[in-house]
Amino acid sequence: MTMRTEWKLAGTMALALSLAGCGEAKQEEAAATAGVTAAAPAAAVAAADAKPAAYAQCAACHSVEPGKHGIGPSLHGVYGTKAGEIAGFAFSEKLKASGLTWDDATLDTWLSGPMKVVPGTKMSYAGMSDPAKRAEIIAYLKTLK
């Protein structure tokens, strides 16, 4: 899936979620309007239930497909692993040597400011200040097994 397609799907998912109380026909109509094929609305709505809106920032650089890396590594199965452990991605030496394990507390701190946690990391993301949004992303990452 291309980055443009991922953004289009993210927008479709957000629209579908906002219409969740309007009934299935409205969700399908919204998905079709956003350019999703007739076969995809149910899948888009199901995926929207799983991905929090805040994840859209992560999706700019990270895939959730196993082994499919983008600017950043795939986040599939990342929860519970050691930093720099995902196969097939060239992590910074600083991150690999950090000794971090991606659990709730570490991910919360990391998402609030990666460069503060591991100076010299390749992840140039400034951070997410909203703890509720970080919690939603962490809960989602736990589902990617």
pLDDT tens-digit map of 122-142: 999 999 999 999 999 999 999
What DSSP assignment string belongs to the chain? --HHHHHHHHHHHHHHHHTGGG-HHHHHHHHHHTT--TTSHHHHHHHHHHS-GGGHHHHTT---STT--SSS---TT-TTSBTT-STT----HHHHTT--B-SHHHHHHHHH-HHHHSTT-S--------HHHHHHHHHHHHH--
Domain with CATH 1.10.760.10 in the chain: 52-145
pTM: 0.66
pLDDT tens-digit map of 60-114: 999 999 999 999 999 999 999 999 999 999 999 999 999 999 999 999 999 999 9
Query: In the CATH scheme, what is the code of domain 52-145?
Result: 1.10.760.10
